[in-house]
Amino acid sequence: MADERSDSRLGYAPRMFSRHRLAEVAALLGDPARAGMVTSLWDGRARPAGELARLAGVTPATASAHLTKLLAGGVLRVETRGRHRFYRLADERVAQALEALGAILPPGRAPDAGSLPPLHVARLCYDHLAGRLGVSVSDALLARGLLVHEDGAYALPTKGRRFFARFGLTVDELEQGRRPLLRSCLDWTERREHVGGALGAAFATQLLERDWVRRERGSRALFVTTAGRKGFADSLGLRWD
Helix (H, G, I), strand (E, B) or coil at 95: helix
What average pLDDT score do residues 108-133 get? 77
**C-alpha separations of 83 from 16, 48, 79, 80, 162 in Å:** 40, 11, 11, 7, 45
In contact, 124 and 90? CB cutoff 8 Å: no
Lowest-pLDDT choice from 38-42, 87-91, 94-98: 94-98
For the chain, the helix, strand and coil percentages under 3-state DSSP, each to the nearest 5:
45, 20, 35
- The C-alpha atoms of residue 128 and residue 200 are separated, in whole angstroms, by 5
**For residue 184, which of 199, 170, 169, 171 has the smallest C-alpha distance?**
199
Q: Where are the domains of the chain?
A: 19-90, 116-236
19-90, CATH topology level: Arc Repressor Mutant, subunit A (1.10.10)
pTM, 2 dp = 0.70
Highest mean pLDDT among 27-41, 106-120, 127-141: 127-141
Instruction: State residue 141's pLDDT score.
Output: 98
Instruction: State residue 139's pLDDT score.
Output: 97
What average pLDDT score do residues 158-176 get? 96
